[in-house]
Structure 1
Amino acid sequence: MADGTQVRTHLCGIRTAWTERGSAGEAVAEIARAFGAGVAQLLVFFSPDYDPETLNRRLAEAFPRAEIAGCTMSGGIAPAGGLDRGLVAIAFPADGFRIVSTVLDAIDHLDVERTAGAVRALRRRLEPQGPDHTQPTQCFALSLIDGMTNAEETVVSAITWALEGIPLVGGSAGDGLTFRDAVLLHGGAIHRNAAVLLLVESDFPVQIFKSDNFEPTDVKFVVTASNGEARTVYELNAEPAAREYAMAVGLDPERLTPMSFAAYPLAVKVGGEYFCRSIRRLNADGSLSFFCAIDEGVVLTLAEPRDIVATTRAELARLDLALGGVDLIIGFECVLRRLDAESRQVRQGIADLYRRYDMVGFETYGEQYRAMHLNQTLTGIAIGKRPADVMRPADAPPAPPATP
């Protein structure tokens, strides 16, 4: 294997590989050598500086019998540690996994009914037919959404409605922190302004999860002027948004950076639980652009970070116990979590955890979890080591459900 390229074969039959090769052609060649034959579904996350046309063509040539889906990333997640650039690939075998997928186009003007119909049609392709059929208990959905469209809330809502209980996790495709272009791959074509949805039925136990490392403070902001569609907030507490936010956290409003936003997140309370609503950038007019939709009248709460290593370790340990051992994790992590970990000099501690639990995935512009679009969160699917249909000893505790 070429220097810098690594591959792992997991007990469930999934193979994962990652490379930091400089060009799309070289990266695909390395991944193809790592995987060889027997790939039924290939999932890829790749640097935005790779030429997508070349990448798409080389993937089709290297894996002519595989279904291929993927997207650009703001950084890669691999057991070897975080990747600033390169290609992360997940190869599903035909045995043990049944996967169907579709692409949803023009998501900035999403037709909810048509989208729900497409998702239901996808479910029918996966589920057994007949009067006695039941929903697969080890089934989950993965979403990859163009993070430049500001459409995740609508897309996730429509998908979740039609999934009717199948748990959803995923991430928003990004391009580092340049905010210019995100690309998705599906069905041999390149897509923008789109979402890719995969439904996966597994013979192995699975569980979706989310993990964050913030807790609310007593500092509140009322959004008094905003453009929800553009995800831009002009006023907080009837004051210019950037100035009001900066004064609350003790920073210069003209020197706010992504590092500032990662260190001092904002959250909204939904159904008794707080979810992060991260700031994307400071605008020249003193407004703030967000990674999620923010409407007027919403109350935002300033949050303070907890120990990111400890909170992540606790969640991964919980998954390990619930599944009787984690075989691998496909993870979707907000790019702001990485910036926060770097600023606190704990990125190595996070990398050690991802190595221990064989996590692969990508850094996102937003994360999906069930019906929610989130920020500054880690979401994912954990796959267990033992087949789901293996009988447990009579004195053992019952097997955990497929979802939390």
Structure 2
Amino acid sequence: MIRTAMSEARLVETVAQDLARQLIHPHLGFVLFFCSAEYDLPALGDALQQYFGGVRLVGCTSAGEITAQGYSRSCVSAIGFDHRSFSIACELIDEMERFSLIDAQQLVERLGSACRSNSLAPIKGHSFALTLLDGLSSREEQVLAALSAAFGSIPHFGGSAGDDNHLSDTHVYYDGRFHSGAAIVVLVNTWLDFEVFTTHHILPNGEKLVVTRADSNGRRVFELNAEPAAEEYARLIGVPVAELDHRLFAAHPLAVRINEQYYVRSIQKVNDDLSLTFY
């Protein structure tokens, strides 16, 4: 029903060959993949189109890949879905800055109609949605708010594309090529049981930080507890401001608590005015 594959090859044609050898079978209906941004992306897109023929592929660049052997880097990881068990429809949002609730409602209706055409299972109670977004678009919240309202009771999850921590260019893959400033919405309908869940290893330290001045549109926090944000964060984790970097941000994440759940808000950088910019 589901097959997984990975390739650590450096030549894009070899990558496509590796994935095709591991995934292609008579009932393959859809492929989802995650790849390092170190590859020649246009060439990789062409190679995947060549070796997978009429099979629909979507994916995105990442900052490290999860494989059957565990965490890896500089590779491609993929999942193949059997069309006898999964009816899958997807669309590209190529203008995230203009995406509205009406757009979301129309998109969800089209996806639902496409999945229903295969008559696998009713949409309600038998479907989930996956969203892949350009991780540097700064439009994820607006797009996801519109989609969540349109999906209603359909479970909805996903994440932002990465680029191996270079913070310069992230992409999603749709219809044979990689796109920036875009998002992909995938609706999966299946007769199989499934569960959408979240897990992490974060433990709260008991000290609460209050955002007292911020630019929410710019994802920039100027003050925490009425102090310069970087200084207060550095004090909390016990290091000088000058030592703050992406490794410390990852080791000491900040999180928002909603009810009893914690949701990480990742810090991108310290600015000259001691504010913190978030992803």
> Could you state the TM-score of these two structures normalised by the residue count of structure 1?
0.65
Of 12, 17, 24, the residue aligned with 1:24 is: 12
What displacement does 1:154 show? 1.5
Q: 2:181 aligns with which of 180, 193, 209?
A: 193
- For residues 10-39 of structure 1, what are the alpha-carbon distances to aligned partners after superposition, in whole Å with 9 as ceiling and x for unaligned? xxx221110111132221121122233432
1:90 to 79, 93, 113: 79
Hey, what's the Cα distance between the residues in 1 that align with 2:146 and 2:81? 27
Q: Could you list the per-position Cα deviations for residues 262-303 of structure 1 after superposition, in whole angstroms to 9, with x for gaps in the alignment? A: 222222232453322221222233221112xxxxxxxxxxxx
**Which amino acid in the other structure matches residue 151 of structure 2?**
L
2:212 — aligned with what? 224
Q: Does the residue aligned with 1:209 lie in a helix, a strand or coil?
A: coil
Q: What is residue 340 of structure 1 aligned with on the other side? A: none
Q: In the alignment, is the contact (CA less than 8 A) between 1:127 and 1:136 conserved in 2?
A: no
**Equivalent residue of 1:217, what SS?**
coil
* 1:121-173 deviation per Cα after TM superposition (whole angstroms, max 9, x unaligned): 2112223699xx95343311111111111222212111111112111121210
Aligned to 1:70: 59
Contact 2:86/2:190 (8 A) holds in 1: yes
**Given the alignment of the two structures, is residue 103 of structure 1 paired with residue 74 of structure 2, yes or no?**
no
Shift of 1:67: 0.7
The alpha-carbon deviation at position 181 of structure 1 amounts to 0.6
CA contact (8 A) 1:20 1:83 kept: no
Rounded to whole Å, the distance in 2 between the matches of 1:128 and 1:189 is 26
Aligned-pair CA distance for 1:261: 1.5
Residue 227 to residue 109, structure 1, CA distance change in 2 (3 Å)? farther
Residue in structure 2 matched with residue 265 of structure 1 by the alignment: 253
Structure-2 separation of matches of 1:120 and 1:154: 19
Query: Which residue identity lines up with residue 223 of structure 2 in the other structure?
Result: E
Alpha-carbon RMSD = 2.0
Q: What residue in structure 1 maps to residue 115 of structure 2? A: 126
The equivalent residue for 1:56 is 45
Identify the structure with bigger relative contact order (alpha carbons < 8 Å, sequence gap 6+). Answer: 1
**Matches of 1:81 and 1:274 in 2, distance apart?**
25
Match of residue 285, structure 1, among 251, 258, 273: 273
Q: Distance in 1 between matches of 2:246 and 2:211?
A: 20
Note if 1:114 corresponds to 2:103.
Answer: yes
Which residue of 160, 176, 179 maps to 2:148? 160
Contact 1:173 1:182 in 2 (8 A): yes
Is this contact kept in 2: 1:123–1:163, CA < 8 A? no
2:223 counterpart (216, 228, 235): 235
- SS of the aligned residue for 2:137 comes to coil
The CA distance in 2 between the partners of 1:195 and 1:207, in whole Å, is: 23
Gaps of 5+ in 2: none
> 5+ residue gaps in structure 1?
1-12, 292-404
**Equivalent-residue separation in structure 1 for 2:118 and 2:60 (angstroms):** 32
Q: Is the 8 A contact 1:143 1:195 kept in 2?
A: yes
Measure the CA separation in 2 of the matches of 1:206 and 1:36.
24
Distance in 2 separating the partners of 1:59 and 1:71: 13
| Amino acid in structure 2 at the alignment position of 1:158 | A
TM-score by length of 2: 0.92
Give the percent of matched residue pairs that are identical in Structure 1 and Structure 2. 33
Q: What is the alpha-carbon distance in structure 1 between the residues aligned to residue 48 and residue 227 of structure 2?
A: 51
Equivalent residue, structure 2, for 1:204: 192
Q: Provide the rounded CA distance (Å) in 2 between the counterparts of 1:139 and 1:182.
A: 28
Trace 1:275-354 onto structure 2 (pairs within 5 A): 275-291=263-279
Query: Whole-Å Cα distance in 2 between the matches of residues 19 and 272 of structure 1?
Result: 39
Give the aligned residue type for 1:15: R
1:45 aligns with 2:37: no
How big is each residue's C-alpha offset from its partner over 1:49-73, in whole Å with a ceiling of 9 and x where there is no partner?
Answer: 1111111111111111101101001
Distance 1:203 1:20 in 2: 33
Q: Is the partner of 2:204 in helix, strand or coil?
A: strand
The letter for the 2-side match of 1:96 is: S
Question: Residue type of the partner of 1:243?
Answer: E
Partner Cα separation in structure 1 for residue 176 and residue 112 of structure 2: 22
